[in-house]
Structure 1
Amino acid sequence: MNGKWKLASIRKVGFILITAAIVLATAACGTKETNDSGAANNAPSSNTANKPEDAAANGGNQAAANAGDAGTAAQATVYPLTVKDVTNTELTFSAAPQRIITLVPSETEIVYALGAGDKIAGVDNYSNYPKEAADKPKIGDMNADIEKIVSLKPDLVLASYTMSQAVVDKLRSLKLPVYATDPKTYDAVIEKVKQIGAILDKPKEAAAVANHMEQVRTQVTDAVKDAPKPNVYLEFAPGWTVGKGEFLDEIITLAGGTNIATEPNWYEIDPEVVVKANPDAIIYASMTVKEGEKNPILTAIETRPGWNVINAIKDKKVFEVDQDPLTRVGPRLADGLLEVAKKLHPDLFK
């Protein structure tokens, strides 16, 4: 999930996430590709990076600005560079990409956090952070404008395969270099940042972002390690939650809670299941609404029959969290983790 989308869009996302997960489980390996910056087909690589095994608001920008302090291990990228993405598609780059298109906000935020925002040639409609992203040419939403993308002549397209599978496949059929990801864990997000940093010849900046994300995680886990773990229900769209095998499930665990959603992936939950689980806290995602209107997720939570007996509602432990940092698998996921931890354990984060 990326961005503060309208309710209908969020429901659509839920279905896409579920069906895409099924498709991914049986997806065939991708084909070898090269970018448009000068690498020949099947060119030998002097530097090969494996696919990822599967940084916060100010922190990401600060990390990029102070990348020189991010340790000496991060070396400049050696080109040609060959990488594999989550679909096992191999791409070879002869130089750092100069015209990048991002199909989801998380990838936009990563590129900016790495200090390469000036290389972005186009972004999706929902990329709203940092504010400079709003000035970039728009290529559409989940149903991206293929002709627009082609006209921008990208030498790298960054995509979420779960969110943009059909678009990814179409762009690849047009011989455009698409690097697709689908991180399922906090560590996988960190590895994604590092991999994109290598592609863009920004390894030091990527190391700084990764270090920040790791430091925030350590701060949170150290603080909550001895605290009681409340049972938590997370609702990111009316009636929709997330269970095992997804990064948001891990976020709840890292933040010192226990997710009551036991089924895998993203799914529409039976309200009675939540009543029986009787969570100690309920977390829901913020949404953009008209002035004077209430978040429809909160309205749904407050008006469901029988939910008035749930401990979280009786004890007024129903918390709104900023949707973007919580659901975008980029540098600001550290912000989302910290915010959830503060909601669940306010006494530990004063």
Structure 2
Amino acid sequence: MHKNFVRLVAVFVVVLAGVGPAMAVTPGQTHAMTQESCSFPFTATDATGTDVTVDAEVESVVALQPSAAQTMWEIGAEEKVTGMPVNDYTSDLAGAESRENIVAEDQFTVNVEKVVALDPDLVLAPNIVPDNTVSKLRDAGLTVYKFESAASIEAVYEKTLLTGKLVGACGGAQERVDAMKAQVDTIEQATEGEDKPRVLYLTGGFTAGNGTFIHSLIERAGGQNVAAEAGISGYAQISDEVVAEYDPEFIVVDTGVPEPRIPEKEPYTNTTAVKEGNVVVLEANELNQPAPRIVNPLTQMAKAFHPEAYAAANITETETTAQQTEMTDGATSGTTTEPTATTSTDGPGFGITAALLALVCAALVALRRT
């Protein structure tokens, strides 16, 4: 199979799972984690309609997809993770390489046998994981929680807090969500009333329209998503005619797509974005995973779209020790780099399987044209 095709499809799968700062987090940094606010047994109904009960605080967790692993790292519970995808999509998680890799060579299909062999106390399954995989793990006697799709920042807040309750890291989860909310509020206050530039998200010839996580991020960053304005819903190819008509002032791309990320042809070369050098390159593992680090690309977009308003808000990244506390169960305390405001101002509507099939077919066509 064509190498670029495999990478492109993998990117689409990760995007569809969420559809990716309260603080700019350095890989490996953790948050304080307290246990007193968690209580067990804890029961929650998951995306399969199953009431999942965790009887006692877990000691070992398997994260079936990168977003679940990232969340564990961000809430300070990474030491509990024994198995996870160990690949390009988790390479920014310090120490990930020491965990058991539980996915196949395609980088996202779960190896059920490896997960069962680890015998974890709990398995975290993002919504992209097929129900039959969840069933196989449950038939093997494992406790599995499958998450709902997180198609908005608010949904990521909820998912993060729920993960904390499931694994016994309620304090770390609450701290992370509070910090995310503070940064999002600051961005929205800074960009309120500003003219919204025309923005095009582009990944391998595809764009993100209405009903997508990327669309919500563009809007929250103070931009106008031209794909949505053109009536595009979900993830779809965008025509040259639409690009020429809407003339994006900014083009957002991610590092998960091989160069060149923007077609070196008209109408792209004639867009305001390309002529003025307004191409925003974002880290794919942060942008495309519905997990806490999505606030990082959100901030980067806001800063690019509204540099003067962003600067006027006096958003600075400072080392803070306010949240440093001793972490329980052998975890270590750490610092967080957290942007603070110094002013006084207060899934797409289609099935994942059908969508992925359409994207695969379209990607094949796109590759044949290159």
The TM-score, its normalising length taken from structure 2, stands at: 0.73
Aligned to 1:297: 261
Aligned AA for 1:124? P
Could you report, residue by residue, the CA deviation over 1:280-314 in whole angstroms, capped at 9, with x for unpaired residues?
1111111386xxxxx2313x2xx233323322222
Task: Verify: 1:12 aligned to 2:4, yes or no.
Answer: no
Q: Is the 8 A contact 2:17 2:150 kept in 1?
A: no
SS in 1 for 2:120: coil
Aligned to 1:185: 152
- Correspondence for 2:275: 314
Decide whether aligned partners of structure 1 residues 92 and 118 sit closer, same or farther in structure 2, where only a CA change above 3 A counts: same
The corresponding residue for 2:92 is 129
Could you tell me whether the CA contact under 8 Å between 1:20 and 1:165 is conserved in 2?
no
Match of 1:265 in 2: 234
Alignment of 1:206-245 (within 5 A): 206-235=173-202, 237-245=203-211
Deviations 1:201-245 (A, max 9, x none): 22111110000100110111011012110111001x211111222
- Between 1:213-222 and 1:267-276, the stretch displaced more is 267-276
The answer as to whether partners of 1:185 and 1:250 remain within 8 angstroms in 2 is yes
Of the structure 1 ranges 216-225 and 158-167, higher mean CA displacement relative to structure 2 is found in 158-167
Pair 1:150 & 2:111 matched: no
Q: Structure 1 length normalisation: TM-score?
A: 0.77
Q: What is the CA–CA distance in structure 2 between the aligned matches of 1:81 and 1:346, rounded to whole Å?
A: 45
Residues 231 and 281 in structure 1, CA contact (< 8 A), matched pair in contact too:
yes
Do structure 1's residue 87 and structure 2's residue 53 form an aligned pair? no
Distance of aligned partners of 1:176 and 1:261 in 2 relative to their CA distance in 1, 3 Å threshold:
farther
Contact 1:18–1:265, Cα closer than 8 Å, also in 2: no
Deviations 1:10-53 (A, max 9, x none): 432466579989xxxxxxxxxxxxxxxxxxxxxxxxxxxxxxxx
Tell whether the 8 Å contact from 2:27 to 2:92 is kept in structure 1 after alignment. Answer: no
- Residue number in structure 1 paired with 2:307: 346
Contact 1:242-1:261 within 8 A present in 2 as well? yes
| Structure-1 residue corresponding to 2:76 | 115
**For 1:99, which of 60, 65, 77 is the aligned residue?**
60
- Matched-pair identity in %: 27
Query: In 2, Cα distance between the equivalents of 1:61 and 1:189?
Result: 20
Higher relative contact order (CA 8 A, sep 6+): 2
Moved over 6 A (4+): 17-21, 59-63
Out of 237, 242, 248, the residue aligned to residue 279 of structure 1 is 248
Structure 2 segments unaligned to the other structure (5+ residues): 312-370
Q: Identify if the C-alpha distance between structure 1 residues 228 and 15 changes in structure 2 by more than 3 Å, giving closer, same or farther.
A: closer
1:88-131 residue CA offsets vs partner (Å, 9 max, x unmatched): 32201101222111122221121122222111111102322321
Aligned residue-pair number: 298
What does the per-residue CA deviation read over 1:126-182, in whole Å, with 9 as the maximum and x for residues that have no partner? 322321122211112211221111101122111222255553344344343222222
1:337 maps to 2:311:
no
- When residues 319 and 9 of structure 1 are mapped into structure 2, their CA distance, relative to the original with a 3 A threshold, is same
For structure 1, which segment, 153-162 or 206-215, has the greater mean C-alpha deviation from structure 2 after superposition? 153-162
Q: Does 1:160 align with 2:121?
A: no
What is the distance in 1 between the residues matched to 2:17 and 2:99?
28
CA contact (8 A) 1:57 1:331 kept: no
| Aligned residues: CA RMSD | 2.7
Whichever residue aligns with residue 131 of structure 1, its letter is A
Distance 1:149 1:279 in 2: 45
Q: Using the alignment, how far apart are the partners of 1:274 and 1:239 within structure 2?
A: 11
Cα pair distance change 1:226/1:297, threshold 3 Å: same
Q: What is the one-letter code of the residue matched to 1:193?
A: T
Q: Which residue number in structure 1 is paired with residue 162 of structure 2?
A: 195
How much does 1:59 deviate? 7.9
Q: Which residue of 2 aligns with 1:250?
A: 216
Equivalent AA in structure 2 for residue 246 of structure 1: T
Q: Which letter does structure 2 place at the counterpart of 1:196? A: T
- What letter matches 2:168 in structure 1? D
Worse-superposed segment, 142-151 or 258-267: 258-267
